[in-house]
Amino acid sequence: MIKRLSVAVIIITTFYAFNLFPQSNNGHRNHNSKRFLPGFHISSHYAEQVMEFSMEPEIKVTINAPSPQIFDPSKKVMLIFYGLPNFNTTAQTIGKKLHENHNWHFNIQHIGAQTRFLRLQRKNYNIVVAYLETGRQSWPWWRNSFPNPDAIIHSVADSVMNLFKNFDTEVVLDGHSGGGSFIFGYINSLKSIPDNIKRIAFLDSNYDFENALGHGRKLISWLKSSDDHFLDIICYNDQGVKENGKVFMNKTSGTFYKTGLMKKTFEREFRFTAEKDTAFEVYNKFTGLNSRLQIIFVENPKKLILHTVLVERNGFIQSINSGTGFEGKGYQFMGAHAYNKWITN
């Protein structure tokens, strides 16, 4: 199902095969050596540890981990799979300061800077982000172009998780826009969602939700199975929004409709409480299971395109912090950027 692994993956496989990956013990030297992740190189940005490799067909994985000075092998790893939005590269998704002639896509998500904010805030974790990109820059398009796409997605996820098997690792499935298709592809490949997946977040990305495919049933069972499972769903009212004078989303295909469908599905099992917030645009927030389940609908009376606004206005931070004691600390969802000083040039 996976036709070819890149040289980078083969190198990492070799580290495991010959026990070159440092094993846990009480020795000070080995403790320090585990701060340096095998096969990773040191980035010029904050000395972060980075690995890039490709898997067939047409999948690029970029893993960003804390610097060796920050990475603490005695702490848990929070491994975040981030499905890239449609028609965005990994570099654009990570983001940077815009200069003359830069593509505007570099300034609409800033997942790199938002991750650095989270690393300083959530110091009990080593936060690692795996950016998942397809050669066609669209997970929905990719899944419609190859046989057995969900099984391939499962193999990609397993390959990345395997790199951190010697650490106490918790997994997060996250994504924006078409990146949600990666999440649903992975869910489709499972009979049930495993316990090591602690958080699932849809940043205006739940287009592929279908009860007929068992998505609601699997998510409900997963939420019930543990008090440390969190689900965060964020959308905006995309009904009637126009692009170049044309309505670009029909009434049953957008995230606003799909989020309403998910809410109705969960209401059969869970009780919600509702609240409003007036940051930037008014949004309605519904919470259940002691805030482990959160659904946010951003109102949109001006019929604006808020698809990426949800992300760059601290949406990624919110997707990781929802339902925890860190929610709203040092930032406000849909408020001013909380992460500007960590944007790189």
Q: What is the pLDDT of residues 223-279, one digit of tens each?
A: 999 999 999 999 998 887 877 777 767 778 899 999 999 999 999 999 999 999 887
**Global confidence as pTM:** 0.89
Least-confidence region, from 13-22, 118-127, 178-187, 265-274: 13-22
| Residue 21 in this model has a pLDDT that exceeds 50 | no
Q: Place 31 in a pLDDT band, splitting at 50, 70 and 90.
A: low
| Residue 20 in this model has a pLDDT that exceeds 70 | no
Burial 295-320 (b: 16+ CB within 10 A, else e): bbbbebeeeeebbbbbbbbbbbbbbb
Peptide bond into 57 cis (omega under 30): yes
Q: Is residue 2 in a domain?
A: no
128 and 70 in contact (C-beta within 8 Å)? no
Q: Place 33 in a pLDDT band, splitting at 50, 70 and 90.
A: low
pLDDT value for 26: 44
Phi, then psi, of 127 in degrees rounded to 5: -90, 120
* Distance (Å, whole) CA 122 – CA 95: 21
- Dihedral of CA 88/94/97/99: which sign? negative
pLDDT value for 32: 67
Domain of residue 204, CATH code: 3.40.50.1820
Of 172, 85, 184, 99, residue with least CA distance to 143:
184
| Residue 92 in this model has a pLDDT that exceeds 90 | yes
Q: List the beta bridge partners of residue 79.
A: 128, 171
Phi, then psi, of 50 in degrees rounded to 5: -130, 140
Q: Is residue 1 in a domain?
A: no
Specify the pairing of strand 283-288 against strand 273-277: antiparallel
| Residue appearing with tokens 């409900």 | 220
Q: How many domains is the chain partitioned into structurally?
A: 1
Q: Is residue 84 in a domain?
A: yes
How close are the terminal C-alpha atoms of the chain, in Å? 39
How far apart, in Å, are the Cα atoms of 132 and each of 137, 139, 192?
10, 9, 22
Residue-wise pLDDT for 265-308, tens only, equals 999 999 999 999 887 778 999 999 999 999 999 998 888 888 88
pLDDT > 70 in the chain, percent: 90
Query: How many beta carbons lie within 10 A of that of residue 67, not counting itself?
Result: 16
Q: Place 7 in a pLDDT band, splitting at 50, 70 and 90.
A: very low
- Please count the residues of the chain: 345
Q: In the predicted model, what is the mean pLDDT of the chain? A: 89
* Distance (Å, whole) CA 104 – CA 3: 35
Q: Place 123 in a pLDDT band, splitting at 50, 70 and 90.
A: very high
Burial 252-283 (b: 16+ CB within 10 A, else e): eebbbbbbebbbebbeebbeeeeeebeebbeb
Tell me the Cα Rg of the chain. 20
Locate 134 and state its tokens. 């397809």
Query: How many beta carbons lie within 10 A of that of residue 291, not counting itself?
Result: 15
pLDDT value for 308: 87
Q: Place 338 in a pLDDT band, splitting at 50, 70 and 90.
A: very high
- Amino acid at position 309, single letter: V
pLDDT value for 25: 41
| Residue 19 in this model has a pLDDT that exceeds 50 | no
Range of the structural domain that residue 337 is part of: 7-342
| Residue 75 in this model has a pLDDT that exceeds 90 | yes
What residues contact residue 34 under an 8 Å CB cut-off, 6+ apart? 22, 24, 73, 166
